[in-house]
Amino acid sequence: MATRSQTAAVLLAGALALAACGSGGEQASAPQSGGKTLVIDTSFDLKTADPGRTYEPTGLIVGKATYETLLTFEGSDVTKPVPALAESYELSEDGKVLTLKLKQGVTFADGSPITADDVVFSLTRVRDMKGTPSFLLDGVEIAKTDDTTVTMTSEKANAALPYILPNPALGILNSDVVKENGGTADAQDKAEQYLNGNSAGSGPYQIESFNVSSQVVLKANAKYHGDKPAYDKVVIRNVESATQKLNVQRGDSQMALNLSGDQVTNMPDTLQVKKTASANVFFLLANQNPEISDVTTNAKFVEAVRKGVDYAGLLELAGEGSTRAPGVIPSQILGALPVADAVERDVEGAKAALAESGLSNPTVKLEFPTELTVNGLSFQPLAERVQANLKEVGITVDLQPAPVTTALDNYRNGKEEMGLWYWGPDYPDPNDYLAFLPGQTVGERAGWKTGAAKELEELGAKAATAIGDDARTQAYHEVQRELNKVGPFIPLIQPSQNIVAAASVTGVEYHPVWQVDVADLGAE
């Protein structure tokens, strides 16, 4: 994963935190109709409804509702892709060729059949338009074998591909309609304007109205081939978190997606609160570039930090629903380390490591973004707790909060001596976390160059080409254990993702990719 990476993830979250109070967003109201209407309040991070260009959290909610993908996930389980528009799939023994057999008799919302040509056009379009999600299919050739079969061929073994295909950005479009409206499946493609007002998919919902700053209204697709959705209309509104809480409490909305742990405490019994560890992992980095620091490049210093952090205390700050991060891969994803592997605080061990380092009362700068919040959690209290923890060890931490743009610039250019950041999955596969290895995206940001940890890099190469769940799980366990041993990263916690919903809404589940699947929500 080399395109979107953590920078974009943080930029998106930063935009969410800074722009959530969209003018007029909380004033929008659900249209009245004879059928059931579901109103969802969220803080918009939304640019487009064109699946080939969307990668923002709110856009993925809309995309999941309006388009279908070849594969999907069952409920909130991202450990096993299951068929959707494909009736079956098979990965070759060498991991390079994914063969998908397409379901027959399914149609787009306009009644026209979904064909192998539509699949090839849609996926090629994502790859070749060079929009935000194009990296998902880098190096992948898509071909029609026959009217019911499509193959996807990767340059290298690509066991992650079945886990990538459920992403709503890879939704299948009606190629004839898109071509009629400027779609060329390359950098000159001009169908986005049409797709921002009209659905060209086969999902359970269609777009009725779309506004990137206020609200999106979805209407049920009368020709949907699957189970009929419970709601005739779904209204997704742009509302800042304090107003989200008020709205859901007084019944002006049925769901709120962006409330912090503090905001969901003492909710009335008429509401249900779903608290689940998010797929975001907070971590510390210690720069390994000697031009940046002669302190953080010391392996024993990193060991002292790893042993000196009070992880249990950080969990208390994060609140109920959060969990430890034993490694960089979050708990929901294949290859996550068991909790038993998590480092426990050992102040005396930390002091001993610091003594072995030869550093006397070192002082380091810890940088982090100020106005950015992740799952309702801000970086400042976490940084202050780390500062207090390490003071007990004999390390002075100079907190360096900065606006998100400034902090991001230093982070992505490898200028931070120490940094406090988070990583959210680009797709729910452990392959995405090889970015933490030397010479890779996050490794480079920590000044960790290729060749710095050859045994780990060999384990990473082995994991990248491993085939089969058991082999991949074992390979990524080995990668993370070695990374925890020799790497400059200290995984901390996964904060809680809180969803508040009216008691009448059933099937409420948090999903690491699309947050909620509105078509799975029922009504009592």
Q: Helix/strand/coil (H, E, C) string of 124-180?
A: HHHHHHCCHHHHHHCCEEEEEEECCEEEEEECCCCCCHHHHCCCHHHCCCCHHHHHH
Token pair listed for 141? 């050739």
The H-assigned helical ranges of 431-518 are 441-445, 454-464, 469-486
β-bridge mates for residue 400, sequence order: 367
> For the domain that residue 517 is a member of, what is the CATH number?
3.40.190.10
Q: Give the H or E element holding residue 302.
A: helix 299-308
- C-alpha separations of 520 from 35, 56, 79 in Å: 17, 21, 19
Spatial CA neighbour of 335 closest among 507, 89, 76, 159 = 159
Token pair listed for 102? 């397409």
Spatial CA neighbour of 226 closest among 90, 76, 109 = 109
Residues 6+ apart with CB under 8 A from 508: 255, 272, 274, 499, 501, 516, 521
CA atoms of 172 and 182, how far apart (whole Å):
17
Q: What is the pLDDT of residue 196?
A: 96
Looking at residue 488, the DSSP 8-state letter turns out to be S
Token pair listed for 394? 């004999």
CA atoms of 168 and 395, how far apart (whole Å):
45
Residues 83 and 97 in one domain: yes
**Residue 480 φ then ψ, to 5°:** -70, -35
DSSP string, 337-350: PPGGGSPPP-HHHH
Residues 286 and 185 in one domain: no
Q: What is the pLDDT of residue 60?
A: 95
Domain count, the chain: 2
- pTM to 2 decimal places: 0.86
- Under 8 Å between Cβ of 305 and 390: yes
Residues 261 and 342 in one domain: no
Residues 305 and 206 in one domain: no
Residues 6+ apart with CB under 8 A from 38: 230, 231, 233, 234, 235, 254, 255, 505, 518, 521, 523
Residues 125 and 40 in one domain: yes
Residues 267 and 297 in one domain: no
Question: Which amino acid appears at position 456 of this protein?
Answer: L
Spatial CA neighbour of 504 closest among 249, 276, 272 = 272
Token pair listed for 231? 């709601």
- Under 8 Å between Cβ of 269 and 325: no
> For the domain that residue 445 is a member of, what is the CATH number?
3.10.105.10
Looking at residue 199, the DSSP 8-state letter turns out to be -
pLDDT 10s digits, 57-81: 999 999 999 999 999 999 999 999 9
| Domain region containing 92 | 5-274+498-523
DSSP reduced 3-state for 61: helix
Looking at residue 397, the DSSP 8-state letter turns out to be E
Residues 105 and 171 in one domain: yes
Residues 451 and 502 in one domain: no
Residues 198 and 296 in one domain: no
Residues 267 and 362 in one domain: no
Is the backbone of residue 131 left (phi > 0), alpha (psi -120 to 50) or beta?
A: beta
Token pair listed for 256? 């709120």
Q: What is the pLDDT of residue 23?
A: 31
DSSP-derived pairing of the beta strands 418-423 and 489-491: unpaired
- C-alpha separations of 212 from 19, 44, 62, 230, 257 in Å: 12, 8, 11, 25, 17
CA atoms of 506 and 524, how far apart (whole Å):
7
Spatial CA neighbour of 29 closest among 44, 43, 39, 19 = 39
CA atoms of 22 and 237, how far apart (whole Å):
10
Token pair listed for 129? 């338009």
CA atoms of 524 and 518, how far apart (whole Å):
15
Q: What is the pLDDT of residue 4?
A: 39
Residues 6+ apart with CB under 8 A from 423: 6, 9, 280, 281, 283, 328, 433, 435, 436, 442
DSSP reduced 3-state for 492: coil
Residues 464 and 393 in one domain: yes
Residues 190 and 301 in one domain: no
pLDDT 10s digits, 195-224: 999 999 999 999 999 999 999 999 999 999
**Residue 369 φ then ψ, to 5°:** -80, 140
Length of the chain, in residues: 524
- C-alpha separations of 507 from 34, 49, 62, 214, 265 in Å: 23, 25, 18, 26, 21
Query: pLDDT tens track of the chain, all 524 residues?
Result: 333 343 344 333 333 333 333 333 334 444 444 579 999 999 888 999 999 999 889 999 999 999 999 999 999 999 999 999 999 999 999 999 999 999 999 999 999 999 999 999 999 999 999 999 999 999 999 999 999 999 999 999 999 999 999 999 999 999 999 999 999 999 999 999 999 999 999 999 999 999 999 999 999 999 999 999 999 999 999 998 889 999 999 999 999 998 888 889 889 989 999 999 999 999 999 999 999 999 999 999 999 999 999 999 999 999 888 999 999 999 999 999 999 999 999 999 999 999 999 999 999 999 999 878 888 788 999 999 999 999 999 999 999 999 988 999 999 999 999 999 999 998 999 999 999 999 999 999 999 999 999 999 999 999 999 999 999 999 999 999 999 999 999 999 999 999 999 999 999 999 999 999 999 999 98
Question: Rg (Cα) of the chain, in Å, rounded?
Answer: 23
